[in-house]
Amino acid sequence: MLRTRLLTAAILLPAVAALVLFAPPWFFKIVNVIAGLWGLYEVAEMTGALHWVAIPLFAVVGGIPLFALLYGANLGWVGWVVPLIVILMMLGLVIRIEVAGGGERFRGPRLVFIGAAYVGFLFPFFSLVRNRPGGVKVLLLVILLAVVSDSGAYFVGRYRGRTKLAPSVSPNKTVEGAIGGLVATIICGWLLFKLIGATWDVGRILLFAAMISILAQLGDLAGSALKRAAGVKDSGWIFPGHGGLLDRTCSLVFALFFAYYWFQ
């Protein structure tokens, strides 16, 4: 399993880096559409809604916002209010799973609705961030900080973790790990901005890095809650040893929504 994970990562990481750095905006947008549709497929599969009857729900709740946000529809306040509501719904699911003790499954139309909206309203921010002026650097920055946050939380939690953060949602996460990930991200953000000569003041650098870490960790918990509610271990199988697309992107979607409006 470890060998499979390492081989997949060795192929996936350079491919993602090349896509972010060199793909024309139109091509990146097409890839984003394909990823979004695949994400909707994963939601349908793990929630038991992979049948013709559910297609209208996925089309309206997931497909329409996916294409509308990606292809420049002037959504006004809807473009940020509704994604924010979706984020709050996902965090509500985290709380509900934790309070329920993880023993209750929430499969049903409501879970399908939340999952479809999660993909449809939040996945477009990959392109919305990347294809704007200076967006390549922003997307790479968010990815890097999210990886540092995840790595810091993992290593601190593994060696120093004592207090469970949300055991019913994600049994391996600890409070100490979350704090370690936050500190590691803040340090990395400060060093990175110093290296590239950014003109931000220290307070703004630290705030941005801290928010990315917090949102990355909340996004990871939200992805875990969606899987717990559906009663599955992984969201899919597309990345051998790593699970599905939603498994690999859950720590990014909340952070990218924040970064998009932070840099406006």
Tens-place pLDDT, residues 60-91:
999 999 999 998 766 777 789 999 999 999 99
Q: What pLDDT is attached to residue 4?
A: 67
pLDDT value at residue 167: 93
- Which one, of 77, 92, 54, lies nearest residue 222 by Cα? 92
Please calculate the CA angle 179-94-254 and round it to the nearest 5 degrees.
65
Q: Are 24 and 227 in contact (CB under 8 A)?
A: no
Inter-residue contact 239 to 245 (CB < 8 Å): yes
165 CB contacts (<8 Å, ≥6 apart)? 173, 174, 175, 177, 178, 221
Residues of the chain with pLDDT under 70: 1-9, 73-74, 102-105, 196-198
* Confidence (pLDDT) at 51: 86
> To which H or E segment does residue 14 belong?
helix 2-22
Residue 13: the pLDDT is 81
Model pLDDT for residues 91-126, shown as the tens digit of each residue: 999 999 999 886 556 778 899 999 999 999 999 999
Torsion of CA 103, 239, 14, 226, to 10 degrees: -30
Q: Which residue stretches of 23-134 are H helix?
A: 25-46, 55-57, 64-70, 78-100, 109-122, 125-130
- pLDDT score at 3: 64
Q: Which pLDDT score is estimated for 50? A: 86
Q: What is the pLDDT of residue 176?
A: 97
Task: Give the pLDDT confidence score for residue 106 in this predicted structure.
Answer: 75
| pTM of the predicted protein model | 0.94
